[in-house]
Amino acid sequence: MAFTDRFKRAFIAFCGLVAAAGFIAHSVLEETPAEARYIPFGERDRQEHYRISPYDSLIKVWSDSAGLDWRLVSAVVYHESHFRHDAVSHRGAAGLMQMMPATARAFGADSLMDPSQSVKAGTRYLKSLRYRYRGVAANPTEQDKLMLAAYNAGGSRMTDLINYARWKGVDPGYWDNIVELIPDFRTDSILTVDTVKLGKFQGHETIEYVKAVMARYGHYQRIAP
């Protein structure tokens, strides 16, 4: 057989193999369920059913009941306990939402280690705080920030901060305005101000808390629309 004929036959056979391989690959892709295929890391956050935590369903139920965005509540839970239902702080706060036992009981929780009771009490408490600042906050976002600050520092401390802002002629409806006044609470002179009942306050933790929770809330809004 001439070399040219052998070469032609070999080339035709090779082309057949390539075509067959392409057909098989295409068939496999067509038959592979979408959920079983590789999803690039950058695309995973945009999947419709992205899960934030094992407690998503629970948090959604109690958040809806309290009129809160479940993603904001999830951000609070993350920063309070990192989604550990058995977390206990050195101050005695416990559970997913790290509430003190007395406060938790006031909002319907007998066992803070029970995830459902912890989230129920925590969302009810957040709701009460948010409602408290409805006439103070400039807009819903600022209302969320005041709510978070109170959840971290306590309602009475927030009353001091708001009253002091008003005494100074500053609008307390914006959290950043209050943040600018917090350094005054680190000095002895704050003890002479009649509108301040709880005395000095460092505030570093609360400032970082509000900033961190709001940032994570924004992240959760993007990945769990």
Indicate which residues carry an active-site annotation.
80
- Report the distance separating Cα 59 and Cα 66, nearest Å: 10
Handedness of CA 80, 82, 87, 88 (dihedral sign): negative
Cβ–Cβ under 8 Å, residues 125 and 113: no
Structure tokens at 172: 């307390």
Alpha helices in 32-154 (DSSP H): 41-44, 56-66, 70-81, 101-106, 115-132, 140-153
Cβ–Cβ under 8 Å, residues 118 and 96: yes
φ/ψ of residue 114, rounded to 5 = -85, 115
- Report the distance separating Cα 151 and Cα 125, nearest Å: 8
Cβ–Cβ under 8 Å, residues 53 and 77: yes
Among the listed residues 68, 170, 163, 180, the one whose alpha carbon sits nearest the alpha carbon of residue 124: 68
